[in-house]
Amino acid sequence: MKIAISTFLFFFGLSVHSQLLSPQQVMFPTSQGDSLEVDVYLPNSTGSFPVILIQTPYGKNRFRLGLPLGVVRNLSASNYAFVILDWRGRFSNASKALPGVGIGEDGYDLVEWIASQSWSTGKIGTWGPSALGNVQFETAKKRPPHLTCAVPLVAAPHYSFEHYYTGGAARTELIEQIDNLGFGVSSTVSANPYYNATWAAIEGLSIYPDSIQIPMLMIGGWYDHNIESTLFQYDTCSKNSPLPTGTKHHVLLGPWAHGGNGTSYVGSANQGQLNYPNAEAISDSMALRLFEHHLRNQSNGWETKLPVMYYQMGDEQWLEDTQWPVSYTTSTNYYLQPDGSLSTSQAIHDSLAVTYNPSSPSPTIGGATMRNDLVQGPYDQVPDVESRADLLTFETAVSSQDLKIKGRPEAHFYLSSDRKDTDVAVRLTEVYPDGRSMLILDGIKRMRFRNGFRLSDTSFMKQGVVYPVSIDLPSVAITIKAGHKLRLLVTGSNYPKYNRNMNNGEEMYPGNNLDSVFNPLIAVNKIHVGPSTPSRLVLPIDNTNTTVIEREKIRVEVYPNPAFERLTITSDEPVIRIEVYDLTGKILLSQDEHTEQVSVSGLTNGVYVMIVHTQNSAWTTWRYDTVE
């Protein structure tokens, strides 16, 4: 029997605090012989608490507006103390810069200092996104004895050539934004446009799974530029962290963008022009379940969670598995057809031409972007990309059944050009019945790099010669619903996400400028299709449940919200069990025999999650909005 899980967030006498938080500002001694300032947030002045440590390069004072993980300004209700550090050389610790001192070294010192304080139980976890996530790996690498667990979000310490040169083309906007944030990577990146000993050394130093000896929950997003780095880090740590730690890592993959720009961020429902209410705040609740289990020794079911938890977009479901990619997909070829369709049948011989002008590149609209002037997440490509003449489009027929994609799609082309070098850029979109073409993911390949990324691998094109080229696209889990279509866009650019190819075969980045226009040439590129040139899109398809007839979503109602004495629960299907959790993941109430009235009079003021288990084979998540 399958169990349906319906989750309700309800509020019991919730009060809202408007004042800013006032932490204790404390200096802690480091092994470098100096002291650094930290902010200490304690739920009360008499207790001792497990501690969540946050290390930020962006200014710790902003956390006075509200603490993460649902605490906001209701610190007195938290089970945890928070300690927040400005990185050495930044903000309150700007005068403490020391060349050669890594961020992990200060992290080690701070963890052990926290463990010695009277207000600490000696158990410390770390949390934070992006740069605040990378520092968690660096701290864990130093193996401080009292570091217990970690939750890095949209972060991974693995720096690779392809992260900065996707398909051989510089990630222009990403590199610019990293520089804008003060990390200054462009000089090193631009000086090494081919894979070489420098990149080998950088990659080797940033891979250290055998040093990760604490369990981690690594959180990633399908619209995040770090998705493959997150998956790589999870995979290497799961396989190479010392036992039993290697078996205790988890990864949570949601429909989220990187954040830091606009309204899309890890845990928000709004992502670009789409909305995913079933994914809202799940990153917080899962992080709290990990902390509750490892920092407070609570039996909350965390140990029974499968290691890979991922969101299947389209179905709007959270699923679990023992590995990623999942083991039960079938690689399915969708061949490009001369009429612009995608079909599992081979095409007849033909070629389709597309023009690319570096002086008027196809624009980046949404996706896994970073720069402040670009939007993030899924956006409609019709108005600004598909309205142009410089693209080819290929799409499936409107399907009568769902198409479930789980894994890394691949694009394989047979391409000729009238230029020595050019780029082939692809975007994958979901076409809605109303005509919207919503971006799922994108990729690119610079033709001189079609055989590899070392200088010795590069080779220019000869006019009229057809060359095979492959593009590995990022991982994704999405169901193209019946009545929708899958569309492949092929252009010569995607700018400013990727550097523009000048099509001239000359030096790519003269003067180490990753975004310059020099001697641009218009290229006419041809995609060749047919049995001997099988240009195709390869999709990892899950066909395991295509014969299952889905039932309609059940109706479940929970009211009133907020509740003060009791809740009323009604459902179209029999209810098996009702559970109530606090936001740390601790179970407070479990009722196996369902009655329509559930007493909540024993709960204190706060926010709670109710899980209703039914016998229906489908499951849906409901979330109540905040009510004062």
- What is the domain count for the chain? 2
Q: Which domain holds residue 488?
A: 330-541
**Same domain, residue pair 351 and 373:** yes
Residues 265/256, Cβ–Cβ less than 8 Å? yes
- Give me the pLDDT at residue 2, please: 29
Average pLDDT of the residues in 496-508: 98
Whole-prediction pTM: 0.85
pLDDT-based confidence at 600, cuts 50/70/90?
Answer: confident
- Give me the pLDDT at residue 561, please: 65
- Give me the pLDDT at residue 548, please: 31
DSSP-derived secondary structure letter, 448: G
600 within domain boundaries: yes
Cβ-based neighbours of 65, under 8 Å, separated by 6 or more:
20, 21
Residue type, 575: V
Burial class (CB in 10 A: 0-12, 13-18, 19+), 489: buried
pLDDT at 413 over 60: yes
Cβ-based neighbours of 233, under 8 Å, separated by 6 or more:
137, 156, 157, 158, 209, 218
pLDDT at 44 over 90: yes
Q: Output 7 or 296, whichever has higher pLDDT.
A: 296
- Give me the pLDDT at residue 145, please: 98
- Give me the pLDDT at residue 96, please: 97
3-class DSSP assignment, residue 571: strand
**Same domain, residue pair 467 and 337:** yes
Q: How far is CA 243 from the centre of its chain?
A: 27
pLDDT-based confidence at 544, cuts 50/70/90?
Answer: confident
**Same domain, residue pair 393 and 466:** yes
395 within domain boundaries: yes
335 within domain boundaries: yes
324 within domain boundaries: no
- Give me the pLDDT at residue 182, please: 93
Decide which of 496, 518, 541 is a domain's last residue.
541
183 within domain boundaries: no
Average pLDDT of the residues in 179-208: 96
**Same domain, residue pair 519 and 560:** no
**Same domain, residue pair 494 and 622:** no
Nearest by Cα to 174 from 624, 595, 514, 531: 514
**Same domain, residue pair 439 and 463:** yes
- Give me the pLDDT at residue 557, please: 67
What is the CB neighbour count within 10 angstroms for residue 544?
Answer: 12
pLDDT at 171 over 90: yes
pLDDT at 198 over 90: yes
Average pLDDT of the residues in 100-112: 96
404 within domain boundaries: yes
Decide which of 541, 569, 593 is a domain's last residue.
541
**Same domain, residue pair 619 and 572:** yes
Which contiguous run of DSSP H or E holds residue 355? Answer: strand 350-356
Cβ-based neighbours of 471, under 8 Å, separated by 6 or more:
167, 410, 411, 412, 413, 424, 426, 443, 444, 445
**Same domain, residue pair 527 and 612:** no
- Give me the pLDDT at residue 617, please: 34
**Same domain, residue pair 554 and 501:** no
- Kindly report the CATH number assigned to the domain that includes residue 456: 2.60.120.260
Return the minimum-mean-pLDDT range out of 14-23, 39-48, 157-166, 345-354.
14-23
- Give me the pLDDT at residue 613, please: 63
**Same domain, residue pair 456 and 378:** yes
pLDDT-based confidence at 261, cuts 50/70/90?
Answer: confident
Decide which of 489, 512, 541 is a domain's last residue.
541
**Same domain, residue pair 481 and 582:** no
pLDDT-based confidence at 571, cuts 50/70/90?
Answer: confident
pLDDT-based confidence at 588, cuts 50/70/90?
Answer: confident
pLDDT at 621 over 80: no
- Give me the pLDDT at residue 622, please: 33
60 within domain boundaries: no
**Same domain, residue pair 389 and 411:** yes
96 within domain boundaries: no
- Give me the pLDDT at residue 82, please: 98
